[in-house]
Structure 1
Amino acid sequence: MAASMMNFGRVLSVQRITSNFVRGFKKSIGAMGALDAEFEQAKQQSTSLKNDPGNDVKLQMYALFKQATVGKCNIPKPGVMDFVGKAKWQAWNQLDEMPQNDAQSKYIELIKSLTEAEGGETAGEVSEGSGRYNTLQVDQVDGVYKITLNRPNKKNAITLEMYEELCEALNEAAKDKDTVLACVTGAGDYYCSGNDLGNFANIPPEGITAMAEKAGEILLKFVGTFIEFPKPLIGLINGPAVGVSVTILGLFDVVYASDRATFHTPFSALGQSPEGCSSYTFPKMMGLAKASEMLLLNKKITAVEACERSLVTAVFPEDSFHKVTEQRVKAYAKLPRKSMQKSKCLIRDGERDLLHKVNKAECDLLVELWQGDECMNAIMQFFSSKSSKL
């Protein structure tokens, strides 16, 4: 009897263990199913994001997705000329042995944060009212044609599309009979972080030479549009400025800067060379030694230093910058327009042909350097550093 009761107890114990195991297994399977469902939803949401999240985030998305669906990186390392492929491989490979469920969870969290950001505050997104421009905010009020570089979540880095749109906006301002003057500023904390190196990411089937020549044509046209702009052009530098957004300032008529603005032309570090006619305008404005310090040795300068070097006309405190410059621009727009335009032509016409010659020489050199090892290695290092931060 005692033995029977003992055996009965063992049976109940085994049943309880089995029951608990089944419940746990079902719960685990249910959780995995829920995670898979969330992952599928996140995958769909990733294709409907309104804004480009940038290279850093896209690399992270790619790496987590591959880790979640495939597991540890199992493809050969791409060749040195495949910039995008190599950056993606490095991003995925660095996840190493991360469990697929963990990768799924991180991917879901990342996509959720991106979709919530788009549905919430719009700071950092392209503002409404840009009309036909995707990368700019353009307004024309009381004779002032205001162009705002409008990729604040990318520090207003200039894409190929933005180059084209800036040319279009300036040409529109030049032809518009109601526009007295134009000004350029940036949305967010940056004025402009220079050329978006993502422009170099996708090498076309025709090869790197074709890509470099096309980029050279775009830059030649872009700088040429500033050289030919017939009306007063004012730069409102609200924050840090880098690369071509700095060099082009020599073609503006007036440049105002916030005291938090900085000016950086890191061409040598990127295996490139000056553009925007800066090889002529910078030595003319600030002297050969000071110009070389910026263009050859990559020295970053403050707004006050830029003013001392005649790159900037005046500097204002950040907290009053927008108010003061708006008042000045409005006052200038009330001046006799014909007088200002004729006077600008008189000032600029003497060196117009020279500026176009300088622009062509600068673009030709850049096309050559963009195809060289130094530039290639610098760009690869840039993409590698981005992927290593994942």
Structure 2
Amino acid sequence: MTDQPATQPVTVDRADGVATVTLNRPDRHNALTRELKDALVAALAEVGADPEVRAVVLTGAGRSFCVGQDLGEHAAALEADAATAFDTVAEHYTPVVVSLTTMPKPVVAAVNGTCVGAGLGFALACDLRVFADGATLGTAFSAIGLTCDSGLAGTLPRAVGEAKARELVLLGRNFTPEEAVAWGISGEVVAADDVLAAATRTATRLAAGPTLAYAESKRLLAEGISRPLAETLTAEGDAQARLGLTADHAGAVRAFLDRERPTFSGR
């Protein structure tokens, strides 16, 4: 089922508990205009709040995932008022990353092609990634005299280490999916034609799983990086206690004892 016509800047398709959110400016490599960013913020809020959606795929139409900000529109914003040209960071980029990282369901990035700048930030904000072999990845910001946005200053060093992150941001060189995986940016690398199918298979598997547990795990993992161990132990105990009261947990324990496959309803 498609929620918007294909001419919209962002489309959302739902099937089998999975919502596929597609950036839809293929002729411009899904460069981010205000229209597209507004639509993406709204689409992610919608699928994040929809109880029928149990997993999400984020991808781009055409040959690219996302090349970041549309520089033509940005140049016009600078000319109009350089002091407000970067309001989009708080209005769009930050809400997108917050939605991806905090929505109580897993998100899989189907990185079908070029993925740079904010596009890379969006991909790293997802829980899992599938990369097209041959895709170009990069930070890109230093090439236009800017620094990171879209969470890259946090997600990139956590994935590849501080030293490698400094290299990738300061030198601004592009890299391959194979390099990304070797450095610690977890992800599956597949043929370009198989990216969306592979990501959808993973999302469908997750959608059939214990989504309440996934939501608790996302929170624990995000907060556990910088939280003292004692606080993490307490948070884990609290999360386990909440999950222990769910029908999903009780049913899964019964299924295990009966040597049956558990089913999860999100309750």
Q: TM-score, normalised by structure 1?
A: 0.53
1:304 aligns with 2:175: no
Please state how far the C-alpha of 1:172 moved relative to its aligned partner: 0.7
Q: Describe the shift of the 1:343–1:212 C-alpha distance in structure 2 as closer, same or farther (beyond 3 A).
A: closer
- 1:157 and 2:31 equivalent? yes
Provide Cα deviations, 1:130-176, integer angstroms capped at 9, x if missing partner. 24982012111111011011110111111112111111111111111
Q: C-alpha separation between the residues in 1 aligned to 2:62 and 2:213?
A: 34
Is contact 1:257–1:312 with CA below 8 Å preserved after alignment?
no
**Aligned counterparts, 1:247-286, within 5 A:** 247-286=121-160
Q: What corresponds to 2:198 in structure 1?
A: 324
- The residue aligned with 1:243 is 117
Q: Select the structure of larger CA radius of gyration.
A: 1
Give me the TM-score of the superposition, normalised by structure 2.
Answer: 0.76
Offset at residue 218 of structure 1 (A): 3.2
Task: Work out whether 1:174 is the aligned partner of 2:48.
Answer: yes
Name the structure with the higher strand share. Answer: 2
* Structure 1 contact 227–352 (Cα < 8 Å) conserved: no
The whole-number CA distance in structure 2 between the counterparts of 1:349 and 1:132 is: 38
Q: Secondary structure at the match of 1:209?
A: coil
Q: Which residue of 2 aligns with 1:339?
A: 213
Q: C-alpha deviations, 1:39-90, integer Å up to 9, x for none?
A: xxxxxxxxxxxxxxxxxxxxxxxxxxxxxxxxxxxxxxxxxxxxxxxxxxxx
One-letter amino acid matched to 2:10: L
In 2: Cα distance, 1:286 partner to 1:347 partner: 17
For residue 65 of structure 2, the aligned residue among 191, 205, 215 is 191
Give, as a single letter, the amino acid of the residue that structure 1 aligns with 2:82: I
Structure 2 Cα separation of the partners of residues 213 and 321 of structure 1: 33
Q: Deviations over 1:318-349 (max 9, x none)?
A: 34334333323222221122222222222224
Gaps of 5+ in 2: 228-267
* Residues in 1 aligned to 2:63 and 2:33: alpha-carbon distance in whole angstroms: 18
Q: Does 1:136 align with 2:10?
A: yes
Counterpart in the other structure of 1:5: none
1:190, distance to aligned residue in structure 2 (A): 0.9
2:100 pairs with 209, 223, 226, which one?
226
Q: CA deviation at 1:295?
A: 1.0
> Contact conserved, 2:130 with 2:198, CA < 8 A, in 1?
no
- State the alpha-carbon separation in 1 of the partners of residues 74 and 168 from structure 2: 24
Q: CA deviation at 1:206?
A: 7.0
Alignment equivalent of 1:315, drawn from 189, 211, 222: 189
On the 8 A contact 1:180/1:337 being kept in 2, the answer is: yes
What amino acid maps onto 2:112 in structure 1?
Answer: N
Aligned equivalent of 1:292 = 166
**What is the CA distance between 1:216 and its match in structure 2?**
4.3
Structure 2 letter corresponding to 1:196: D
Alpha-carbon separation, structure 1, partners of 2:43 and 2:85: 25
Cα distance between partner residues in 2 of 1:344 and 1:134 = 31
SS for the counterpart of 1:164 is helix
Higher relative contact order (CA closer than 8 Å, sequence separation 6+): 2
Calculate percent identity across the aligned residue pairs: 30
Given residue 176 of structure 2, which amino acid in structure 1 is its aligned partner? Answer: T
Q: Give the stretch that moved more between structures: 340-349 or 183-192.
A: 340-349
Which amino acid in 1 is paired with 2:202?
A: R
SS in 2 for 1:249: helix
Q: How far apart are 1:215 and its partner, in Å?
A: 4.9
Contact 1:247 1:276 in 2 (8 A): yes
SS at 2:166's partner residue? helix
Does the Cα contact within 8 Å between 2:101 and 2:127 map onto a contact in 1? Answer: no
Letter in 2 for 1:283: P
- The alignment yields a C-alpha RMSD, in angstroms, of 2.5
The answer to whether the 8 A contact 2:48-2:105 is kept is yes
Give the partner amino acid of 2:37: Y
Q: Deviations over 1:6-34 (max 9, x none)?
A: xxxxxxxxxxxxxxxxxxxxxxxxxxxxx
User: Does the 8 A contact of 1:133 with 1:165 survive in 2?
Assistant: no
Q: Identify unmatched segments of 5+ residues in structure 1.
A: 1-127, 354-390
Taking structure 1 as reference, are residues 253 and 352 closer, same or farther at Cα in structure 2, changes over 3 Å only?
Answer: farther
Q: 2:82 aligns with which of 188, 208, 232?
A: 208
Counterpart Cα distance in 2 of 1:212 and 1:253:
27
Give the letter for the 1:293 counterpart: E
Count how many residue pairs are aligned between Structure 1 and Structure 2. 226
